[in-house]
Amino acid sequence: MSMLRLLPLLAVLLLPVGALAQAPAKMPQGAAAAQLRPGSVPLAATEDSRREARTLADLLQFPTRAQTTVAQIRGEAVRLATQRSGKPLPEVMQAVDEVVMPDLKDLQGRIEGLLVENLAAAFTATELIQIRTFFSSPAGRRWLRTIPVVERDNERQIQTLGRQAFRESIERHADELHARGVNF
């Protein structure tokens, strides 16, 4: 599989990282920037803020996020190649590992670098120290352990609530929708 065919796949898989991985020079200007940091303009990364962001990276699990992203890319490449080629899974996995993955060997480090750079650009060194102090505290460590579960539960509950509201609306307006020729 050529790297050109993998580009759309990489773009989709890196979307979650993309929000954090925008180059500081591309940060919104004007009113949009004010929403990011109400009452101030976007910051430029400094050596001090980069140092503090690198210190925070492990606490915020940047290496794990980057490693997970690379693993997701590998998994999606294997899935796509298996689906399109009809080859057995072990053969596709070997081909992806030997041909594609060497081209992506530095991707994890690049992702981590992007996350650190953008964290450094979003906060001052002093703010990053304060954030690190919080995340190093018992409450901060608990937050880091707990928030992924809370977010997953929130997402599941929001989707359930949305499906239920949609289903109820369709039931409530079934006659009107049917009269308009719209069927669900």
pLDDT of residue 40: 52
Cβ(115)–Cβ(20) under 8 Å?
A: yes
C-alpha neighbours within 13 Å on the C-beta side of residue 120: 22
Rounded CA Rg of the chain: 22
Look at 6-10, 74-78, 135-139 and tell me which has the smallest mean pLDDT.
6-10
Tokens representing 134 are 């919080």
Give the Cα separation of 57 and 66 in Å (integer): 11
pLDDT of residue 42: 59
Confidence of residue 183 (pLDDT cuts 50, 70, 90): confident
Q: Give the residue among 26, 45, 27 at the shortest CA–CA distance from 125.
A: 45
For residue range 54-97, list pLDDT tens digits in order: 999 989 999 999 999 999 999 999 999 999 999 999 999 999 99
Rounded to two decimals, the pTM is 0.61
Look at 18-27, 88-97, 154-163 and tell me which has the smallest mean pLDDT.
18-27
Give the Cα separation of 3 and 51 in Å (integer): 34
